Structure 1
Amino acid sequence: MTLVVAVASLAGCGLPRSGPTRGELLETDATPGDNAVVVPVDRRIARAASMTPALGFSKDFQSAGIVGSDDIRPGDVLGLSVWENVDNGLLVSQGMNSTALTEVQVDGDGFIFVPYAGRVRAAGNTPEALRQLITGKLDPQTPDPQVTVSRIAGDGATVTVLGKIGGQGVYPLERPTRTLSAMLAKAGGVVIEPEVAQVVVTRGGQTGRVWLKDLYSNPRMDIALRPGDVILVEKDQRSFTAIGATGAQSRVQFETQSLSAVEALAQVGGLSTNFADATGVFVLRDETPAVANAVLGRADIAEPQRIIYVLDLTKPNGLFNARDFMIRDDDTVYVTEAPYVQWTKTFAAVNGSLSPVNSIASLTGN
């Protein structure tokens, strides 16, 4: 009797523990609103709660047609080369047969200056058309001049590529690089695992995001680029928090596009063999109104609803339900301690390092 009184007294004194017990969480008020609602997970709940917003570009991004990326624009930077068939040419130095005019920028009015050709309108022309125009202006002054024109990165028709990419930088929009996938390839390709790579495109005040794998599997996501676009390649930023009787307690990054409760537990080392209660795996989430209504069978929830999903792995379909239940960004996965753990702590507090069995024998005189 003395042992029972001592154990009960200590159990009520708040011995150290990793968090609330399964029973305490199940006693949560079941009224939707400010309070959290406890929902046991079955097959229907797992399906209703696993609706994850898909990534993808909006119709505005998808409907943008291919631009005439070969047209020169104000702000573009051009590279010019001129060959002359005479020893002492207009532009070519003694002993040379060609000269290069590097980084010739198109001014705000759309013109460039070429020695002996004067001020030439570049904007609105393709590099080929501009080549012919400059050739025509030089031809009366030097026999059969040969001219090449190329576009390089400048302030005109260019895009910026950043992040986990082989070559960050500013790239001109040219015929081979007018789409998102082509520009990524031009910039050296993605340097992180495709499974967790996301591509973000910012255009003016709009931002779109897509999985890298979806970009290549869905042609609609391979959008046409526009001058001024900023492309960012980054690793998936989603994470969940694991606490309680798990192999590790930490904030954990997603390793795949979709992550089930079983996979999330596996990422943190599974349930603690010595402490975990397999009937008390909880997922805490601020659920969207649409999903909350579907889960709770209601139609009047208009604000985010706190829901505590309960996974009982000991039930016949428990592991299947956990496999079908998808973890989402910012979820908290909490595993309660088995009831005997608190009793073990209590016995240890009563009798020091003696085991529970020895404690009972000592107190009863047996």
Structure 2
Amino acid sequence: MNFNASRLARSAVFAALVAAVAGCGLPRSGPNKREIFAGSVQRQGDAFVVSVNERVTRATSVVPALGFSSSFLNAGVVGSDTIRPGDTLGLTIYENVDDGLLAAEGVNATVLEEVQVDGDGFIFVPYAGRIRAAGNAPETVRRLITEKLDAQTPDPQVQVRRLAGDGATVSVVGGVGAQGVYAIERPTRTLSAMLARAGGLAIPSEVARVTVVRGDHEDEVWFEDIYRGPRADIAMRGGDRILVEQDTRSFTALGATGTQNRVDFDTRSISAIEAIARVGGLNTALADPTGVFVFRNEPEEIAEQVLGRTDLQGTQRMVYVLDLTEPTGMFEARDFVIRDGDTVYVTEAPYTHFNKVLGALTGTLGSANSLDSLAND
């Protein structure tokens, strides 16, 4: 009886120690499944906890939709020879006499370099006066000058060259090889050509976003779409501003994963399974594959689709649950799209907590035995 009583007493003490240690704040990576579900709206919490299935995946598959509006797409290519205010022209005038109006003695040609088109669109040519240049091609300007000079010198021959398109320029800044202001000329009349003129991309093309500002309008497109569809390679206009920047979206991975970190998007879209892979996958010593959660603030319209409701107001806190052990679990994780600002959290397996309790308990008992031995010595 004494032996049984002693054994029962030791069992009771052990159970008490287990309960005491389990009640202590043992180290862990975050909440367990039970605690997350306890925060659901169904249990008087403030978040909707939803298991991911095909319908949920379809409703939440939202990727930033970028593209140019019709005003950008329908703009025609600017004629490479059209002169604009601010352009610089070069003129050469040949006279069919030895003593001409413009040429020096013994020379029958006069070269006028860097003739600036003024703000009103005119240039001044000696003996021809003010000539309308803006809106005309060099050939038209040549004809106008010839007509003006024809009455003063016999059979003048005129050449007009557009030297620089300072009046029709585009500024390119951001993630390009050479930021600067570039003229719209024959080789740079489209967006792709202008980006090439600026040295191409200095950031990964997969996550490069190109913004074009034209007057009061601003549109954005993925860099790769400029080459995938010819319509996205829009025509340039004088005064356009082009900004090339890297995608700033990111998600955070926490819990029983290989690493816990903030991760930038390196492709247009990332699935849940890809997000886990980017942080080293599940920690095989800790992770519970039935407890993969995605925390997100969901817009009202998407939340209503997911929940099948029409009475929600404003952004909703949503917790999406993925069970990788289900027959279709890996497929659902492969198809579920991660969005900007998401938190991907993997819970620890239940046995992990038990191991921590047992380790803490055996460590505590070992320390107590050591102290007892020292005291007896």
Asked whether the two chains share a fold, i.e. TM above 0.5, the reply is yes
Shift in alpha-carbon separation, 1:184–1:34, aligned structure 2, 3 A: farther
Please state which structure has a larger fraction of its residues in helix.
Answer: 2
Aligned counterpart for 1:101 among listed residues 110, 113, 119: 113
TM norm structure 2: 0.81
2:162 is the counterpart of 1:150: yes
Shift in alpha-carbon separation, 1:134–1:231, aligned structure 2, 3 A: same
Task: Report deviation, 1:168.
Answer: 2.3
Alignment gaps of 5+ in structure 2: 1-11, 367-377
Quote the residue 1:256 is aligned against: 267
**CA offsets 1:186-236 (integer angstroms, 9 cap, x no match):** 333334333222211112232211112222222332333332211122222
Question: Is the CA contact (8 Å cut-off) linking 1:130 and 1:149 kept in structure 2?
Answer: no
Quote the residue 2:224 is aligned against: 213
CA RMSD of aligned residues (A): 3.4
Greater Cα shift, 262-271 or 216-225: 216-225
Quote the residue 2:92 is aligned against: 82
Quote the residue 1:185 is aligned against: 196
What SS does structure 2 have at the residue aligned with 1:303? coil
Aligned counterpart for 2:54 among listed residues 43, 60, 84: 43
Shift in alpha-carbon separation, 1:49–1:148, aligned structure 2, 3 A: same
Whole-angstrom CA distance in 2 between matches of 1:222 and 1:354: 73
Shift in alpha-carbon separation, 1:244–1:184, aligned structure 2, 3 A: same
Quote the residue 2:28 is aligned against: 17
Question: Is the CA contact (8 Å cut-off) linking 1:138 and 1:145 kept in structure 2?
Answer: no
Aligned counterpart for 1:266 among listed residues 262, 270, 277: 277
Alignment gaps of 5+ in structure 1: 356-366
Shift in alpha-carbon separation, 1:109–1:349, aligned structure 2, 3 A: same
Whole-angstrom CA distance in 1 between matches of 2:145 and 2:290: 80
1:325-336 correspondence to structure 2 within 5 Å: 325-336=336-347
What letter matches 1:101 in structure 2?
E
Quote the residue 1:222 is aligned against: 233
Question: Is the CA contact (8 Å cut-off) linking 1:40 and 1:309 kept in structure 2?
Answer: yes
Quote the residue 1:172 is aligned against: 183
**CA offsets 1:268-305 (integer angstroms, 9 cap, x no match):** 11111222211111111111222111111112334121
2:305 is the counterpart of 1:288: no
**CA offsets 1:103-140 (integer angstroms, 9 cap, x no match):** x4322222234456544332222233224434555675
**CA offsets 1:297-328 (integer angstroms, 9 cap, x no match):** 11233412111001111111111110010111
**CA offsets 1:11-40 (integer angstroms, 9 cap, x no match):** 222222221112111222235999211001
Structure exhibiting the larger radius of gyration computed from Cα positions: 2
**CA offsets 1:60-117 (integer angstroms, 9 cap, x no match):** 333434445643222x231415375899994789999875623x43222222344565
Shift in alpha-carbon separation, 1:344–1:124, aligned structure 2, 3 A: same
Shift in alpha-carbon separation, 1:62–1:244, aligned structure 2, 3 A: same
Whole-angstrom CA distance in 2 between matches of 1:48 and 1:137: 70
Quote the residue 1:362 is aligned against: none
What letter matches 1:230 in structure 2?
R
